[in-house]
Amino acid sequence: MEIGVHDTGSLTNRELLLEAYAAYNRRDSDALLALVSEDVDWPDGSARLHGKAEVRAYWTRQWAVTRTHDEPVEITELGSNRSVVRIRQVVRALDGSTISEGSFDHVFQIEAGLIVRMDIQKVGAEDQVPPKRGFLSKNNHSID
C-alpha cells in the first residue's frame, strides 16, 4: 500500500472512525479525505457542505485559526451503516489558550467503507459524565 493511500474496504466501522479522528487530530486532510466519499455530506453550523473540496476548504479554514482536539470516548453501532461517536472536544486558540470544551455526539453514516454523512448533536449537561476510560459501547471495545 502506498503511503497516504488507504484501503478502507477492510476496516470495520469502528476502525474507520478511529482512523478518521486520529487524522483529524493531527490535521492530516489527505488521510481524512481518503476516508470519506466523493459526495460526502458534512455539517458546518446550520449549513451543509457537499463533496471533498468543500470539506477540505472548511478544515483548512478551521485549522488556520484554531487547534481542535476531538477525543472519542464511546462508539455505539446503530446498525451496519450508522454509528454514534461520543467525543470530548477541546478547542484552543493558536496560542494554546482554551476557547471551549464540551461533549458532542457525532452521528456517522457509512457506506462501502467510507463516511458519507456526519451530523453533530450537543450532549446535555446531564450526559457529560465521561464513560469509564477504555469503555467503548455495548461491545466493550476499548480505545486503548
Half-sphere exposure at residue 93, Cβ-oriented, CA atoms within 13 angstroms: 4
20's enclosing H/E stretch is: helix 13-25
Cβ neighbours for 10, distance < 8 A, ≥ 6 positions apart: 113
Is a pLDDT exceeding 70 seen at residue 134?
A: no
> Cα dist. 33→17, 28, 64, 126 in Å?
12, 9, 18, 34
Is a pLDDT exceeding 50 seen at residue 3?
A: no
Q: What digits encode the pLDDT tens for the residues 69-121?
A: 999 999 999 988 999 999 999 999 999 999 999 999 999 999 999 999 999 99
Torsion of CA 40, 38, 4, 61, to 10 degrees: -50
Q: Which fold has domain 8-127?
A: Nuclear Transport Factor 2; Chain: A, (3.10.450)
